[in-house]
Structure 1
């Protein structure tokens, strides 16, 4: 799975705005993507293989 959390380059969506902390952050890596809660970064992240990440994005786009 992914590199250590410190090696991942997490980013917030520009839609979240600069003042809010109620969002998630996403980091891409060679085998997929990782997500974490902006307010609780210390709890770690969830990693998704590429196929699962693309399925999630595809399903979210249909909502």
Structure 2
């Protein structure tokens, strides 16, 4: 599980950079809430995508 998170860290960092830009450039509450929603929704998606890639890699390595 830790290796999955290690692979996902660069993408998660980019999400937080985008969130920081949303907060810095906008005084509109809806833009800020949209940025937070994107981060909350995308982190589990990144995790499961990396987990699937790792499982596929392990499957091909075992053959």
TM-score (norm 1): 0.24
Richer in helix (by share): 2
TM-score (norm 2): 0.24
Per chain length, whose mean CA-contact separation is higher, i.e. which structure has more relative contact order (CA < 8 Å, sep 6+)? 2
